[in-house]
Copies of this chain bind each other. A is one copy, B any other.
Amino acid sequence: MIVKRRPKILDPQGKAVEQGAKLLGFNNVSGTRIGKYIEFFVNSNDVNTVEKEIEEYAEKLLSNPIMEDFEYSYKKVDET
C-alpha cells in the first residue's frame, strides 16, 4: 500500500531532504515528496473480507484521511 499526502498539502519532510540534496550538490532534483510504502498480510480467503480489512486498516491506522490518500494492490499467497 502507498500512502501519500494530497498534492496540495505541503510535505516538510520532502522539503527538508531536498535542502540537504542542494547542499550536497544535487542541483537537478526537485519536487521531492515522501510518503509511506506499507506491506502486510491479511489472513483470509474471502476477497470481500480482505478488501474491507485493508481499507479499514488504511483509514484507521495507516493514513490520515484529512490529508493523505492511499492506494493498494494485493495478491494471494499460499498459507505457510
Contacts and interface: CB of A to CB of B under 8 A. Distances in A.
B35 A38 contact: yes
Interface in A28-60: 28-44, 49, 53, 56-57, 60
A30 B41 contact: yes
| This chain: copies in complex | 2
A41 B34 contact: no
A17 interface: yes
Contacts of A33: 38-40
Nearest to A30: B41
Contact of A29 (B2, B32, B36, B57): B57
A61 B20 contact: yes
Interface of A: 2-4, 14, 17-18, 20-21, 24, 26, 28-44, 49, 53, 56-57, 60-62
